[in-house]
Each structure stands twice: as structure tokens, then as C-alpha cells.
Structure 1
Amino acid sequence: MLENSPKADNWDSHWQELSKDIYFNTPAVRYRWKCLERLIGLNHQTSSPAKLIDIGCGTGRLLKYFSNCYSNIQLKGTDNSFVGLEIAKQSLPQGIFFQADLCTQQYEPPAPHREWATHAICSEVLEHLDEPVIFLNNAGKFLQNNATLVVSVPGGPMSSFDHQVGHRKHYTAKMLENELTQAGYKVEKTACAGFPFHNLYRLAFILRGESILNDAKQQEQGNSSFVSFVMNCFDWLFKFNLLNTRFGWTVLAKASWQGDRPVF
């Protein structure tokens, strides 16, 4: 098990492996992205473009999803992994991507990025961090005052894969609300989505353990029609997931930035 090991936090190495489509083309990822898109509430009809930044953007796949949903939008992404950012630049040439270590206290963004965004997303990042409040406070420096941030983090038990990629913890809605408030945000809404079928999907991950990575590779190579069939079934079942119950394992929040301030 690689929990909290240096290898678990080596995101340059992870993105070289996880940049393949198979790791993003899953029912759980598609469901989470739809939840975030619904929660952020961007207006298709607005005359002025939204300015959206993905904080912890990795390879830029979520920004690419938003670029396909909205034509009138400006996109930026930031991450601490140079490998992830290089992949993002190739995948989404119209986006602006830059490196930033937001885990550093008193981080100061370059002038072109300070107070730029009207909207921000931070998806599946906080669970990897030792100091998520510092990270969130630094992230706010990219946002205009009262800009909207939407966050997703995992809830429920951790799988072998979660440990492999360095999850420190999984969240409840209250835990996420507390961290956002401490970091200088006003929390407007929290939700626990995905019950019952996303929970069932997650339990399959937990039961399969490390074998889940082999399942994904077999599907990518076209060697497992059964895995493809199961994924298609979950895609259909996810349409019936509940958007907010205390049993959901996709933990979401919508918050507004209240301005930079010391967090400790």
C-alpha cells in the first residue's frame, strides 16, 4: 500500500499513466462532471464570457468538457505537475495553463492571474492534501470578489486505488463546508450525490482492489467485453442517482470567495 508515500504524491508519474482516455472515460467521471456543470450554473445566453479556472487541473480534461458545453467562455488551468500541464496544453490549445504550488503559505499569483476568474472548479484535489485550507485560501487569489467556486471530493470508504494515488481522507459534507469557511469562502450549498448506483460502483472498486487497474487496461486494449458491458450498464443506472442524500459518496459544494485573508 502506498498511502502517503512519496510515490503516491508523484503526480508527474501518475499523469504519464493516468492521462489515457480509459481513466477518464468512465461512468463515475462523467457523472461527477455533469454534477459540477449543473452546480456551477453558467449561463449559456450571457453576452460577456465567463472566466473559468480549474484549480488542480491535471491534464485539463474537465476544462475540455466545459469548453464543449459552452462556446462563450475563457479558460485557465493551474496545477503543480509540469507533466499534467504539458498534456493539458496539447489537449486544449485555447486554454491558458500555468504551474502553481498552492500548498505554500503566502503564495502570490502572477499579476495576469490574480483576481481573474468569475468561476472556478476544484475537482478531486483536496483529498490528496495535508493542508487543504491553505490550498483553498491560495486558490481564492485567482478569483474576483464573490466569484463562484464549485468543489467535488470523494466520500465513503477508500479503495486500494485511492490509497495508491495518495488520498489522505474522504469527506463528509460538513468537513468540506468547514474547510471552505476557514479558507475564506461563504458556502452556499453542499450536496452528497450519487446514491445508490455510484455507491455500488465505488463498492465494486473496493472489492476489486488493485485488479481494477488491470480491468481498465483490458478494456482499453479491447480485451474485455464484460468490463465494457458493465460500464455501459452503470452509465444507464447513473441517470437514476439521487442528487442529494446523506448516503451519497460524491460530495459537492458551491461557495463564493469573500476576499484574501490570513487563515492561521
Structure 2
Amino acid sequence: MDTTKKYSTGAVPYLTCIDHTVSNESYQLVYNSEYDMLVTTPVPQNLASYYESEAYISHTDRSKGLFETTYQLVKKYALKKKLSLINQQTAGPKKILDIGAGTGDFLKVCKDNGWDVTGVEPSAVAQQYAQEKGLQLHTELAEVVQQEFEVITMWHVLEHVRDLDSYIEQLKKLLSPTGTLVIAVPNFKSYDAQHYKSFWAAFDVPRHLWHFSKESIKRLFKPYGLQLQETKPMKFDAYYVSLLSEKYKTGSMRPIRAMMQGFKSNWQAKKTQEYSSLIYLLKKV
């Protein structure tokens, strides 16, 4: 089922954005007031083809040029922070499911630190990279059955999920009674989103189908008995997204200006708590 139709019905126009990565096509973002989120319309029938780009860095381990090299360095630091976060979530079984595992770097760190790891990644290219690191990943979440996990992570993945309702239902079934669901997504109410508007890189249409706020997460997961426990910032995202947004807006990354905007976004978020991206920790109630 394509739940974008469900959530876009009755929604009002918010912004028109361009796919800067693959097609240069225009897409409408509409605002759903019931869930306080934006929905991308229309959704292409051949959505998978919109991921087929060398610019889609999350599916590669490349370090060509300053931007990709910097990305990989920041990723290594972020992996340590993520490991620290999940280690705080359980004193019992260290069993984790990572959805959208990419090239497997996060699961490799988890495995090296005593976690029993399972991963899901639809990209065949990314799976190959992960296999070279000793990881065998599932292609779809439906392949993960009759298991319970103390931690389930989705690092910038929920915004890509087409059938939102059934996916949340599957997450609930796979989460142990005491487990923690960790979801990281961009925040369309952040300063950098408001500043760059249609050029904000984290809109990333049409690959990002949903654009969440803090209230969105609360409202979406509550009917499934999953309650938001804590919210944490992803401060590096403001700089990364600003670099790409400058490129989309001006044709150049303009690193000094982008760093200034990233800093300003994080500074504003100290007061508003509306960081460029947020990590949500949810538990069963």
C-alpha cells in the first residue's frame, strides 16, 4: 500500500522542490496538519531508479575529493557516538537490528563490540560492501521473522519508507518488550530548513517521502503503543546539509558560508531544540 496517498489527502501545498541529485524534476511538498508533517507528491512509480547515482554517498565507501573525505571522517566519529548511545539502552541481551544498514559500517562497529547484529539494506551495491566486512544483510524487513531485538535503529531511513503504517507495525513486532527503537530523521522545522527553503538538501525529493517534526513522531507512533522517551540532536547534520544546500542554491558548496549557516542553525536550536536532524528514542508502553 502507498500510504503517501493517505497522508497527502486533504493536505495543503507547502513548497515546491527539485530533485537535485538525479532527475531535476519538480515535486510538491504538502502539509498534513493532523500529523504535523510534510508529504512528497507525486511518488514516481520507478522510485528505485532515483537512488542510482554516484552522488548518493550513503551507499558507497568512497573518499574522492574533500567533501567525501570529510564525510567519511565525520562518519567515523558519528559511529562512536551511535555505539555509545545504543550501549546505554540495554543491560541485558545485546541484540540489534539496523534497518537501512548501507555499507555496514555501523553494524561492523556493533559486532566488534559484542553485539549480535542483523541488518537490512535494499541496495545490492551497498550489500556487497557490507559483505566484504563480514556482514550478510537482508534485502527487506519482511525477511526478518520470529526474532526480538533489544535495539532497532533507523539512521535516516524512515523518511524513505513507502508504506509507513505497516512498517511501524513490523517495527513494533520486532522490538522486545523492554527494547528501544532509535530513529534519526531530518527536521523540517530547523533553522537551516527555514533558511534554505526549497534548496534545503534534506528534503531530497523524491527519495524522501516524509518530512518529520518532533510532533510528527509522537503522533505517528502513539497508536502503535510506542511512546517517545527522549530526543537527541545530530549537530553535524546542520553543517553537512548546509554544504549541499549551498551547492543546490548557488552551484558551489561555499564552505565558509555553509559552516556559518550550520553554526547558526545549531545556535538557534539551543533555544528552540529544533536541530537539523534529531534522534528519537521510543519504547513500548
Does the 8 A contact of 1:12 with 1:84 survive in 2?
Answer: no
**Matched residue, 1:99:** 139
1:147 to 179, 182, 203: 179
TM alignment of 1:68-217, pairs within 5 A: 71-91=113-133, 93=134, 95-100=135-140, 102=141, 109-111=144-146, 114-115=147-148, 117-156=149-188, 157=193, 159-160=200-201, 162-163=203-204, 166-194=207-235, 198-209=237-248
More contact order relative to length (CA 8 Å, sep ≥ 6): 1
Letter in 1 for 2:137: F
Identity %: 17
For the residue of structure 1 that corresponds to 2:210, the secondary structure is coil
Q: 1:63 to 1:204 in 2, by over 3 A?
A: same
C-alpha distance in 2, partners of 1:61/1:54?
Answer: 11
The residue correspondences of 1:231-246 to structure 2 (distance < 5 A) are: 245-246=272-273
CA deviations 1:86-119 (Å, max 9, x no partner) are: 332222x1x442122x4xxxx57434xx22x111
**Residue type of the alignment partner of 2:218:** E
What does residue 251 of structure 1 align with?
278
C-alpha displacement of 1:80:
3.0
Q: In structure 2, what is the Cα distance between the partners aligned to 1:146 and 1:43?
A: 9
Q: Over the residues paired in the alignment, what is the CA RMSD in angstroms?
A: 4.0
Secondary structure at 1:254 match in 2? strand
Compared CA separation, residues 65 and 109, structure 1 to 2 (3 A):
closer
Spell out, residue by residue over 1:7-43, the C-alpha distance to the aligned partner (whole angstroms, 9 max, x if none): 6533773589631334585276456545544443437
Residue of structure 2 in register with 1:218 after alignment: none
Residues 56-75 of structure 1: matches in 2 within 5 Å? Answer: 56-67=100-111, 71-75=113-117
Q: Structure 1: any 5+ residue segments left out of the alignment?
A: 216-225, 259-264
Change (3 A) 1:174 1:49: same
Instruction: Report Cα offsets for 1:129-187 as digits up to 9, x if no partner.
Output: 34323212212333222211111001133635742561123221111222222343222
TM-score (norm: length of structure 1)? 0.65
Distance change (3 Å), C-alpha of 1:250 and 1:145: same
So what's the TM-score if we normalise by structure 2?
0.61
1:223 counterpart residue number: none
Question: Given the alignment, which residue of 82, 86, 90 partners 1:40?
Answer: 86
Question: Would the alpha carbon gap of residues 130 and 24 (structure 1) be closer, same or farther in structure 2, given more than 3 Å must change?
Answer: farther
Change (3 A) 1:84 1:11: farther
When the two structures are aligned, how many residues end up with a matched partner?
226
Write the distance in 2 (CA, Å) between the matches of 1:20 and 1:211: 27
2:201, 2:242 within 8 Å by CA — same for their partners in 1?
no
Q: Which runs of 5+ in 2 are unaligned?
A: 1-23, 28-42, 194-198
Give the distance between the partners of 1:253 and 1:190, measured in 2 at CA: 5
The alpha carbon displacement at 1:208 in A equals: 0.9
Q: Contact 2:93–2:150 (CA<8 Å) still a contact in 1?
A: no
How far apart are the structure 2 equivalents of 1:108 and 1:183?
Answer: 21
1:52 is aligned to 96
